[in-house]
């Protein structure tokens, strides 16, 4: 559908001649502001939408004018959620913690904390997108008042309904108007996403067509497995790296971003489960995990997940002809290196020969350049009296190992032929 099909109907020229210039200017502005959307791959928008679906507070970081507010407005429209925008920097702490209201006999009944109008309207609606804008210009006192809003969804004495999602936006302190660093307690409650412009998205959007945000399509059959996988991944990683369970950054700027704590690891686990159930791309998953626990811990967790998904080396050695190797190059090479390491841990002739058969299987199903390193390492494990299998000749001829003087596979194959043992057929 083109944007022109959605343009409003304007008065005919004869009628327009009698109208004021301001009225015509309004018509022109209406035309300029009338746009449409289309399904389009957008990793930033997909990550934001998945975090919103997971009911986790999200903080969008970006330079002024990058389109954070426009993205949130479009997100609310796409998800059919009423948008409530609250500029944090122009509010007082009592606008979030509530104003004390004296009633009858306060000594017995207490003093209730009256919520602001925007919170009351959200509760009446029962659902909505609460957009906390300009968070980095909010004073420390206001940030402290926001702690319960973001984590517990409480505004004064009012509990926001489950149908309300929270997204905030902030500029880096250097480009914020009278900006503050986020306090560590508040920063640790958010999933931090860094918003950057995409040239194609901007050009096509200014032409009238923006990408459409859609909630992730969760596979009902994958929910239980996704939760089990996420728990196994995070718990297994933290068992191996316990120092990353809680690590408060040393600098003020980094404490205002994503960093690891039990709270943020729980958020990362939630995002892993949602991402797995929705089968999102690795790039989207990386944005979310790093946004929850920080770049370093997030990348380590992703590497741990990659190792979890590698096939068992002993299973590959048991049936090389049926070996299923990862498609992705780095994972395939890691799997082959794992096979070589398994042979090195228990060097037996049958296992060594089976490992060559696994390399042949990799040669038949993937790029040959990935075999050079594992083949050299496997050749170095040969023991005296072990005949060189035919697989060595085949691999050497394909990947060009016989052309390299430093390659041990070619040297041993040549030595085997010269000694009269030959290559076993």
Distance CA 306, CA 285 (A): 13
Count of residues making up the chain: 425
Helices (H), 20-66: 21-33, 43-53
**Token pair belonging to 100:** 């004390």
Distance CA 191, CA 302 (A): 17
The pLDDT of residue 55 is 94
The helix/strand/coil state of 54 is: coil
Residues 6+ apart with CB under 8 A from 221: none
Domain boundaries 38-99+113-209, CATH class: alpha beta
The pLDDT of residue 66 is 83
The label of the residue with tokens 């043992």 reads 421
Task: Provide the whole-model pTM.
Answer: 0.76
Distance CA 80, CA 59 (A): 20
Distance CA 93, CA 146 (A): 8
Asked if 347 and 381 count as a contact pair (C-beta separation under 8 A), the reply is: yes
Over its length of 425 residues, how does the chain's per-residue pLDDT go in tens digits?
A: 444 445 555 555 445 555 788 899 999 999 998 888 888 888 999 999 999 999 999 999 988 888 888 888 888 888 889 999 999 888 888 888 877 776 666 666 666 777 888 999 999 999 999 999 989 888 889 999 899 999 889 988 889 999 999 999 998 876 655 668 889 999 999 999 998 888 888 898 889 888 888 888 999 999 999 999 999 999 999 999 999 999 999 998 899 999 999 999 999 999 999 999 999 999 999 999 999 999 999 999 999 998 888 888 999 999 988 888 988 888 888 899 999 999 999 999 999 999 999 998 988 888 888 888 888 889 889 888 888 887 777 777 766 544 443 445 555 566 655 554 444 43
Residue 97: which of 57, 55, 142 has the closest Cα? 142
């Amino acid at each position: 559908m083109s944007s022109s099909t959605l343009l409003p109907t304007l008065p005919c020229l004869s009628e327009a001649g009698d109208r004021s210039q301001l009225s015509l200017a309004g018509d022109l502005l209406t035309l300029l502001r009338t746009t449409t959307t289309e399904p389009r791959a957008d990793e930033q928008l997909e990550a934001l939408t998945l975090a919103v679906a997971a009911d986790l507070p999200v903080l969008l970081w970006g330079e002024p004018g990058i389109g954070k507010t426009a993205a949130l407005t479009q997100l609310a429209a796409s998800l059919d959620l009423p948008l409530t925008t609250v500029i944090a920097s122009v509010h007082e702490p009592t606008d979030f913690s509530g104003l004390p209201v004296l009633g009858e006999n306060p000594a017995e009944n207490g003093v209730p904390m009256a919520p602001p109008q925007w919170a009351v309207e959200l509760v009446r609606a029962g659902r909505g997108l609460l957009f906390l804008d300009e968070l980095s210009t909010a004073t420390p006192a206001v940030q402290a008042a926001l702690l319960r809003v973001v984590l517990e969804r409480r505004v004064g004495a009012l509990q926001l309904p489950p149908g309300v999602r929270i997204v905030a936006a902030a500029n880096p302190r250097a480009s914020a108007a009278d900006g503050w660093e986020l306090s560590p307690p508040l920063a640790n409650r958010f999933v931090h996403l860094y918003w950057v412009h995409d040239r194609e998205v901007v050009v096509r959007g200014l032409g009238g067509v923006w990408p459409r945000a859609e909630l992730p399509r969760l596979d009902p059959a994958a929910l239980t497995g996704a939760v089990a996988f996420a728990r196994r991944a995070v718990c297994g990683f933290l068992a191996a790296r316990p120092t990353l369970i809680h690590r408060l950054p040393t600098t003020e700027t980094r404490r205002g971003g994503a960093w690891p704590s039990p709270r943020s690891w729980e958020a990362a686990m939630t995002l892993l489960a949602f991402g797995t159930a929705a089968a999102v791309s690795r790039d989207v998953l990386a944005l979310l995990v790093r946004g929850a626990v920080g770049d370093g811990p997030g990348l380590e967790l992703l590497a741990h997940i990659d190792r979890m998904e590698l096939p068992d080396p002993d299973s590959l050695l048991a049936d090389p002809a049926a070996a299923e190797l990862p498609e992705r190059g780095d994972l395939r090479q890691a799997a082959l290196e794992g096979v070589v390491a398994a042979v090195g841990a228990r060097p037996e002739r049958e296992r060594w020969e089976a490992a060559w058969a696994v390399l042949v299987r990799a040669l038949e199903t993937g790029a040959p350049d990935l075999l050079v390193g594992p083949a050299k390492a496997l050749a170095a494990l040969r023991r005296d009296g072990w005949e060189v299998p035919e697989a060595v000749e085949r691999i050497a001829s394909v990947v060009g190992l016989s052309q390299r003087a430093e390659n041990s596979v070619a040297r041993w194959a040549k030595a085997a032929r010269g000694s009269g043992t030959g290559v076993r057929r």
